[in-house]
Amino acid sequence: MKTKFFTFFTALALSAGQLCALQVRIDGINYNLNETDLTAEVGNHQGSSLKDTLIIPASVEYESKTYSVTSIGNLAFQSCNLKSVTIPNSVTHIGINAFYGCQRLTSVTIPASVTSIGSQAFNLCTTETLRVDYTGDLTDWCGIMFSYWPFGDYHLYINNEKVTDLVIPEGVQNIRNYAFSYCSGLTSVTIPNSVTRIGSSAFSRCSGLTSVTIPDSVTNIGGRAFYNTAWYNNLPDGPVYIKKFFYAYKGTMPANTSFTIDAGTLQICEGAFSGCSGLTSVTIPNSVTLIGVGAFERCTGLTSVTIPNSVTLIGVGAFERCTGLTSVTIPNSVTSIGNYAFSYCSGLTSVTIPNSVASIGSSAFSYCSGLTSVTIPNSVTSIGVGAFFGCSGLASITIPNSVTSIGGQAFERCTGLTSVTISNSVTSIGSRAFSGCSGLTFVTCYAETPPIIYSSFSRQDTLRVPYKSIKA
């Protein structure tokens, strides 16, 4: 059949003097053509009349040029009336929400060439179970970068055989985040000794999964890795350990609980105690090296915590919204305090950051309204965006000589702040870093070479600097 062309919009995006993009429709499919590298992305089809069977070609011809189809764009076929889709072996990326809400879609063929699948690409696709035919092998599948909930309920087929008793191939080291989430056809999983990491939500919501074999080689298990599987749901309420990992506290924790984590535990997994408002104190053994993302978030009854010297990393949001937390001891072993680690801990009054910490994450202590003093050691080189945003109780702050950058909004709305001392090592101060600090009248900066300032202070602030920096 002769190919039909229709140019419905031409986008001229000049980069280095070259034409970069062109939007065309070829044989009823919309494409974004890149004239620089002769690649094509499948474009947006929302509201189109496409239905039933769609076979995407590996390449298209336009104005005597051949374009390789390498990606399916974000929202490309969202809510279309498709029943089946075949994706060619040229495609490496499937975009965010690419087939989201295609409620008649019952089958899709994904080639081994695909290396990444965007968030919710095939979510809410059918009222039944989606059949996913994959042309590669399990090693290839485990190598795909999956984003947030790429599929709804689905069955995975490899070489036309439904995968039920999953044996991860030897040699695979990382089972990626969401790799098999919602794969309801799985009944058992055997993981080989080569695997060191099981990603977040890797097997989450695999409703038929009843048996899991995990080797001692695994050193990291992501949050919700086995959430809402039959295997997890059949476990009794209370603490759940997987090998040497504290995986989760299942069920509702009783009020006024003092909990001791087993000796020898290596990691407190992501979200392990999340929302356990009955937790008042926790004893963490010296074997733990990692406190995972959101491990104690919303433990509103937790009043104090001592982190042992074995811990090197406090994860993102690890103690976020622990409003009852009044004191925390951070040991010298910790090198990084994650983003939002203690955000909204409104009861926290003082924090001493040890000399081992090199960076304070974005919003790490934001909205700690009760925080009146904080000691930043000489080891810290950067203070993240919004690190102390809204800490209205802080009266003064000294930035040590080690710090070279202060992130935007780092101390914004610290209304109780009256004085700030900035060392001579600081080279940049981010936008609104001290904005809204209504009590701040004087800022002393010892840098002879003025730091780059991006509207960092309020207009009423007086900046004191060395005489030499005035000349600079």
pLDDT of residue 5 exceeding 50: no
Q: With cut-offs at 50, 70 and 90, classify the pLDDT of residue 3.
A: very low
Residue 317, CA distances (Å) to 207, 298, 339, 366 in order: 28, 10, 6, 11
Average pLDDT taken over every residue of the chain: 89
Long-range contacts of 395-398 (CB under 8 A, 24+ apart): 395/419, 396/420, 396/421, 397/421
Query: Phi then psi for 232, rounded to 5 degrees?
Result: -70, -45
* Cα–Cα distance, 342 to 328 (Å, whole number): 10
Q: Which two tokens stand for residue 65?
A: 């040029």
DSSP secondary structure code for residue 183 in this structure: B
Q: Angle 40-42-46 (CA atoms, 0-180°, nearest 5)?
A: 155
Provide the pLDDT for residue 179: 97
pLDDT tens across 243-266, in order?
899 999 999 999 999 999 999 999
Query: Phi then psi for 250, rounded to 5 degrees?
Result: -90, 135
pLDDT of residue 2 exceeding 80: no
Q: Which two tokens stand for residue 444?
A: 């002393």
Provide the pLDDT for residue 327: 85
Provide the pLDDT for residue 463: 53
Q: With cut-offs at 50, 70 and 90, classify the pLDDT of residue 33.
A: very high
pLDDT tens across 111-164, in order?
999 999 999 999 988 778 999 999 999 999 999 999 989 999 999 999 899 999
Average pLDDT over residues 171-198: 96
- Model confidence, pTM: 0.81
- In the three-class reduction of DSSP (H, G, I as helix; E, B as strand; rest coil), residue 444 is classed as strand
Asked if 290 and 315 count as a contact pair (C-beta separation under 8 A), the reply is yes
Provide the pLDDT for residue 8: 42
Strands 5-9 and 22-26: antiparallel
* Cα–Cα distance, 445 to 462 (Å, whole number): 11
Question: For the residues of 112-136, what is the DSSP string, one character each?
Answer: TT--EE-TTTBTT-BSSPEEEEESS
Provide the pLDDT for residue 11: 37
The percent of residues above 90 in pLDDT, for the chain, comes to: 75
Q: What end-to-end distance do the CA atoms of the chain give, in Å?
A: 72
Provide the pLDDT for residue 151: 93
Continuous segment of H or E residues that includes residue 431: none
Query: Which residues, other chains included, contact 239 with Cβ-Cβ below 8 Å and sequence gap of 6+?
Result: 246, 248, 249, 250, 259
pLDDT tens across 418-464, in order?
888 888 889 889 999 999 998 888 788 876 776 777 666 655 555 55
CB neighbour class for 59 (10 Å; exposed up to 12, middle 13-18, buried from 19): middle
Output b/e per residue, 394-429; b: 16+ Cβ within 10 A.
beebebbebbebbbbbbbbbbbbbeebebbebbebb
Average pLDDT over residues 358-367: 95
